[in-house]
């Protein structure tokens, strides 16, 4: 048997020995856009075997080792740089999928650091061609109301992107901007003279109804899901952004991952009739369909109890750090200020091989 996770050690770049965690699943990352700005750094650290992470609450430095890693959930508004690294992940036997936030706030200037919309749509399609349909999840997140953006305008923005992604995505994930709960976000918006409108429960219900109708009318048949929203909306699921079912679907060839997730792969015997075609497979309701008529069933509750009640994510290790994303979105909750984020980005440029994102 291996040592307990907390007792395992690694050798650092300076030859010192340090304790590290050895996660099977990592999140890259909720805290910053690693695919857009730090993809080369991350893949370099993956090859070296570890990276360092600084706890935002106590400032303590800890280490994450990648020896056992079998799956990565990427989060990004511009994951195009990942195209250069997907081959290496396949070589390592590491599966992945991408939570791709593809918004349209160009006219309003709310996301000044992202590429043009058409370029981002092109990137989405290129990634689907590499990873497969379902492995790139479309997020329009968050949904923001301002004095220049009402519900109908938001729906038109979604409609345009939804038409472009037809055949390339299975799901649309969204959330309603909760400005009042984030004092720094509220202050940043007001400082930049962006007159936001906080969503009411009635508006959320109305918007969801219109979105469900749009999905049906356009024939998209996307799965609609909310991220971190407690409200139950008709025709809309509660999403699991770090999703064990997607991991099974795109990583089932890894026995280590399947064991970790508590997933059993079943190869049913096809019942044949000499005078008829093969009978359809009988599968459990919650079965995950795989290749070659196989399916999988997860027999373990993988939900991360450390997340918010409305969060459906399973447990993973996030390797990002706050105050490091230079997308400079006006509504960003992950940066204390744009200035701090840019300073950290510049520091990274001076020390790209450091074990931390910030180069410290």
Average pLDDT along the chain = 92
Cα 296 from Cα 189, distance rounded (Å)? 46
Q: Which of 94, 114, 92 is nearest to 104 (CA)?
A: 114
Find the mean pLDDT for residues 257-281: 73
Secondary-structure percent of the chain, ordered helix, strand, coil, rounded to 5? 30, 20, 50
Asked whether the beta carbons of 142 and 200 are under 8 A apart, the reply is no
User: Beta-strand (E) ranges in the chain?
Assistant: 9-11, 17-19, 25-28, 50-54, 61-65, 71-76, 95-101, 136-143, 145-146, 171-176, 196-197, 223-226, 237-238, 263-266, 288-289, 295-298, 317-318
At 7, the pLDDT band (50, 70, 90 cuts) reads: low
* Encoded tokens for 124: 């989405």
Asked whether the beta carbons of 5 and 296 are under 8 A apart, the reply is no
Asked whether the beta carbons of 21 and 6 are under 8 A apart, the reply is yes
Q: Which pLDDT score, from 0 to 100, does residue 3 have? A: 47
Q: Are strands 145-146 and 17-19 parallel, antiparallel or unpaired?
A: unpaired
At 278, the pLDDT band (50, 70, 90 cuts) reads: low
Of 17-21, 100-104, 246-250, 301-305, minimum mean pLDDT range? 301-305
Query: What are the domain boundaries of the chain?
Result: 5-242+316-350, 249-302
The pLDDT tens digits of the residues spanning 199-248 come to: 999 999 999 999 999 999 999 999 999 999 999 999 999 999 999 999 99
Q: Which pLDDT score, from 0 to 100, does residue 143 have? A: 97
DSSP for 174-243, written as a single string:
EEE--GGG-HHHHHHHHHTT--EEPPPHHHHHHHHHHHHHHHHHTT--PEEEESS--S--TT-EEP-SS-
Cα 123 to the center of its chain, rounded Å: 16
The pLDDT tens digits of the residues spanning 254-264 come to: 999 999 999 99
Query: By three-state DSSP, how is residue 322 classified?
Result: coil
**What is the reported pTM?**
0.94
Q: Which of 356, 358, 256, 255 is nearest to 48 (CA)?
A: 356
CA end-to-end distance (rounded Å), the chain: 36
Q: Which pLDDT score, from 0 to 100, does residue 307 have? A: 84
């Amino acid at each position: 048997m291996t040592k307990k996770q907390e007792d395992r050690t690694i050798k650092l770049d300076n030859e010192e020995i340090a304790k590290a965690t050895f996660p099977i699943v990592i999140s890259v990352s909720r805290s910053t856009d690693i695919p857009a700005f730090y993809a080369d750094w991350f893949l370099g650290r993956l090859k070296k075997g570890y990276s360092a992470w600084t706890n935002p609450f106590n400032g303590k430095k800890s280490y994450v080792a990648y020896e056992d890693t079998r799956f990565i959930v990427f989060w990004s508004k511009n994951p195009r740089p990942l195209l250069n690294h997907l081959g290496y992940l396949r070589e390592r036997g590491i599966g992945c999928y991408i939570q791709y936030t593809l918004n349209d706030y160009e006219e309003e200037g709310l996301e000044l650091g992202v590429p043009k919309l058409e370029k981002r749509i092109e990137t989405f399609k290129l990634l689907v061609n590499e990873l497969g349909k379902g492995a790139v999840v479309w997020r329009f997140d968050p949904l923001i109301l301002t004095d220049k953006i009402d519900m109908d305008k938001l729906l038109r923005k979604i409609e345009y992107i939804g038409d472009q992604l037809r055949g390339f995505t299975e799901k649309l994930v969204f959330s309603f901007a909760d400005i009042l709960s984030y004092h720094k976000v509220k202050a940043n918006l007001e400082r930049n003279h962006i007159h936001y409108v906080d969503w009411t429960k009635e508006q959320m219900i109305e918007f969801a109804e219109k979105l469900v109708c749009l999905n049906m009318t356009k024939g998209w048949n996307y799965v609609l899901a909310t991220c971190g929203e407690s409200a139950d909306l008709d025709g809309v699921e509660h999403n699991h952004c770090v999703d064990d079912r997607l991991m099974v679907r795109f990583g089932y060839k890894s026995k280590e991952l399947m064991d970790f997730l508590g997933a059993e792969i079943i190869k049913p015997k096809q019942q044949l009739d000499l005078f008829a075609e093969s009978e359809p497979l009988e599968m459990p309701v919650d079965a995950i369909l795989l290749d070659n008529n196989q399916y999988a069933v997860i027999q373990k509750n993988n939900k991360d109890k450390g997340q918010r009640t409305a969060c459906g994510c399973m447990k993973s290790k996030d390797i990002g750090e706050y105050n490091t994303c230079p997308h400079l979105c006006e509504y960003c909750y992950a940066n204390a200020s744009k200035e701090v984020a840019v300073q950290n980005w510049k520091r990274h440029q001076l020390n790209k091989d450091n074990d931390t994102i910030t180069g410290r």
